[in-house]
A and B are shown apart, each in its own frame.
Chain A
Amino acid sequence: MTHDSPVHRLGAGWKLALGTLLSALAVGARTPGELLALVTVTLVYYFAARLTPFDLWRDTRFFVFQAVLIIGLYCLLKGGDKGLWPGFRQSAQIILFYIPGAVLLRTTRTGDMMRGLRRIVPYRLSFLVFVSIRFVPFFLRELDEIMTAQRLRGARLLPRQLVDPRNWGDLFHCLLLPLMVRALKTAEEVSLSAEAREFGARQQRTFYDVSRQAGQAATAHLKQNTVPPCSHMGPEAGKGLL
């Protein structure tokens, strides 16, 4: 998969509009001709994004069970001959409905998506979203550590052991409970840290101005006739953190 194509360069808003149109057409398609035309247009859109047939399989494989179920039910109720086409049409419509959304997600950079979201999602909520994403690696490490420690104590947490429902007690009590305790403590620490910086004290979004802090520290050190510890840092220092 490449990260540059005409679809990648389209704005997120345009992709959303195009996707909505294609999805709406997928809902309305009824005849074989309409469906064929829509399949062609959708596939052109998909492959114009330089996505591969393997990507297409990864995006649509979740609908295979659904398609089998729908075609099976139609064949069961209407007979093999009469049920095959409506079942196939329905399944194709559902897959076509979701493909433009997959293109949007695959071709829009997370940063662009975040910028778009910031315009519509209140900052307090977007802070929570970004914190929850930011802590994914942290909790992955925690999960790994807890799992290793508990397995050394004899907990049955190996993937093949968890297939057996009798071992789910270990999953909940030896893994997820300690993880939840860690989450409670982390939430406490992060909230204390954020509130110490007056985060959330005002309705508008505020920034922790590191450069200003550095400036104040430097002034304080100059007053005491000592060399500031970070004297090599210019006024631009810390701006990347804002």
Chain B
Amino acid sequence: MTNSREQVYLWHRFTLREALLLGFCATFILLTRAGLRLHLHLPGHVMFFTMFFYLLARGCVPKIGAATLVGLIVSLGSLLLGMGTKGPAVFVKFILPALLVDLAGALFPAFVTSMLACVLVGAVSASVRALADTGLEWLSGMEEEVLLRKTVITASLFALYGGLGSLAVPSIIRRLRKNGLIDQGSGS
């Protein structure tokens, strides 16, 4: 998919086309966040589509930093659209899971084609989001036992939805590759 004439646009890594595609993945996360806000009120459900699009972004642009760029754009977009009810903490909420997806991609470049690996990475990355609240609660003096239990409950909910959202990624990546729409995923 990468054209040799294309110039590197961002972070010495992404071409403009790749960066725009990642931007569109961020658009989809914003769209699904707004959509879900209208219909569902289940805690942690936001990670369903967030993890799906993070992993899809990593699969479509198999370069380190792809998911993080999506996370960064979602954070800034949420702030601008007034969707970040938690204010600047929205950066931690979105970038922390994205960093983990990129870390997984750096260690196992082909993980997006394995369903088990996707579910694992999706669940673990989504659960890390619970740490964003844990830091604040620890600072505000919450007792360790309560803090631990609450973190386990919220992280489990995030992990459940994150894992479910990641289930479909391998089949979609395979179909996109089969039709020559994305790179075959050599990784970098």
Contacts and interface: CB of A to CB of B under 8 A. Distances in A.
Interface of A: 19, 23, 26-30, 59, 62, 65-66, 69-70, 73-74, 77, 86-87, 90, 93-94, 97-98, 100-102, 104-106, 110, 113-114, 117, 121, 124-126, 128-129, 131-133, 135-136, 139-140, 143, 159, 165, 168-169, 172-173, 176-177, 179-181, 183-184, 186-188, 190-191, 194-195, 199-201
Contact of A104 (B25, B87, B171): B87
Contact of B76 (A102, A117, A172, A186): A117
B80 A113 contact: yes
Given A73-B150, A93-B140, A183-B21, A136 B88 contact: no
B106 to A, nearest CB: 21
A30 B142 CA distance: 11
Contacts of B19: 124, 128
Interface in B1-53: 6-7, 9-10, 15-28, 30-31, 39, 43, 52
A108 to B, nearest CB: 9
B84 A105 contact: yes
Interface in B152-174: 153-154, 164, 168, 171-172
A172 B10 contact: no
Contact of A74 (B20, B146, B154): B146
Contacts of A74: 143, 146
B85 A184 contact: no
A191 B16 contact: yes
Contact of A128 (B73, B153, B176): B73
Interface residues of B, number: 62
B80 A129 contact: yes
Given A132-B24, A165-B164, A191-B17, 8 more contacts: A94-B137, A102-B85, A105-B82, A110-B82, A132-B73, A135-B24, A168-B168, A187-B21
Contacts of B85: 59, 62, 98, 101-102, 105
- Interface centre among A124, A173, A187, by most chain B C-beta atoms within 10 angstroms, is A187
Contacts of B140: 26-29, 90, 93-94, 97
Contacts of A188: 17
B121 interface: no
- Interface centre among A26, A131, A169, A194, by most chain B C-beta atoms within 10 angstroms, is A131
Contacts of A199: 16
Contacts of A101: 84-89
B9 A200 contact: yes
Nearest to A23: B87
- Interface centre among B52, B76, B84, B150, by most chain A C-beta atoms within 10 angstroms, is B76
A140 B171 CA distance: 24
Given A27-B140, A128-B23, A172 B172 contact: yes
A177 B60 CA distance: 12
A94 B24 CA distance: 33
22 contacts: A27-B139, A28-B140, A29-B140, A65-B43, A69-B150, A77-B145, A77-B146, A87-B146, A90-B146, A101-B87, A106-B82, A128-B10, A128-B20, A132-B73, A135-B23, A139-B24, A139-B28, A169-B168, A176-B52, A180-B56, A183-B21, A191-B16
Contacts of A110: 80-82
Contacts of A102: 85, 87
B27 A105 contact: no
Contacts of A113: 79-80
Given A30-B141, A62-B85, A105-B87, A131 B23 contact: yes
A183 B39 CA distance: 25
B77 A129 contact: yes
Contacts of B137: 90, 94
A62 B72 CA distance: 22
A190 B80 contact: no
